[in-house]
Amino acid sequence: MTAHSDPVIRLLRDLVAINSVNPTLVPGAPGEAEIAAAVAAAMRGFGLDVQTQQVAPGRPNTIGVLEGRRKGRTLMFCGHVDTVGVAGMTQPFAPDEKDGRLYGRGAQDMKSGVAAMIDATRVLTETGGLDSGRVLVAAVVDEEHSSIGADALVTQWTADAAVVTEPTSLEIAVGHKGFVWIDVQVSGKAAHGSRPADGEDAILRMGRVLMHLEALDRALQARVPHPLLGTGSLHASTIEGGRELSSYPDSARLQMERRTLPDEPASAALGEVELILERLRREDSTFRGRARVMFSRPAYQLAADHELPQTLAAALHAPSRNLVGMSFWTDAAVLGHAGIPSVLFGPGGAGLHSTQEFVTIADVLVCRDALVELARRFCQAS
């Protein structure tokens, strides 16, 4: 059987062909209902017990269950089925194979990982099933925005360990950064542009904030790096203010992101910004600014000597493989902080969130086969 005709690649093509753009990111997008139905049908087709968990209207998680013949440990495979938007892409839902790659929106992030975890369970069922234990296959919604799917999943399902099949180029990742989104507002005083004595320019005052934030970012990136994740960082994401050319702006608003590390307290990011605002108030009694957290997600790290990454490395026949960390946030943090030890492991490729996204076809097969072997090793009776 060639890679192109392998069931996992056929399933991947079917998934890429479905528009599952996240409607929270792109208003009017269809969301995950159609792809959830396709995932459910695929898993029922080889005999899994499939359950649906409605997370939001038209946005269901889909969970397949493979039971072993005896009690044992539960291993979860988890992946998200939503994608970012497709602006600038000509045929985002027409999977195109060439030069050992499969192109299309979601091909790498992360329908290839979803196809690998589903097909791994098919292989298990068609080669005698599990002697013991249980495999859960969770296809969840909304990871590309705020992970309401993973949040809902852990309220009803648990496992002894999990693999989140995000794209890692077949590396085993045991951690990733977190993030905090912060809203900063600076007030000024509206006045006619010809009367500087009457006005206070909120945009120029926001410039003072930006100057201190740039210095803070340099300081963060000059710290001793985390051995797997590097340093924390921040960037100014969006900024707005002012009403018209001939008026002093009475307000300016900045939305920023701070990337965090596992050993940083949850309050650190907001505290850093509030310290800057307090310093500016001390320097100028007329300065008025405030900050608030809009949304945040914690960083995550699993001990490198945990059984899960070690068993996965053995399943890859690479027991001495180095473990890595990922810069991007994933649902592994939701699972991990809910008490499910988790790693990231998935195919390689390029073009995440870009107009040319692809996955390496051979990696999808390797990922699928490694998940099969991991399940056989991990789910044995304890």
Which pLDDT tens digit goes with each residue over 22-44?
A: 999 999 999 999 999 999 999 99
> pLDDT by residue (tens digit) across 237-285?
999 999 999 999 999 999 999 999 999 998 999 999 999 999 999 999 9
Q: Encode pLDDT of 51-75 as tens digits.
A: 999 999 999 999 999 999 999 999 9
196-203 mean pLDDT: 96
Give yes or no for residue 381 having a pLDDT over 90: no
Tens digits of residue pLDDT in 281-296? 999 999 999 999 999 9
pLDDT band at 169 (very low <50, low <70, confident <90, very high): very high
pLDDT tens for 329-376 read 999 999 999 999 999 999 999 998 999 999 999 999 999 999 999 999
C-alpha–C-alpha distance, residues 140 and 142, integer Å: 7
The pLDDT assigned to 319 comes to: 80
C-alpha pair distances (Å), 35 with each of 71, 76, 149, 296: 32, 20, 14, 28
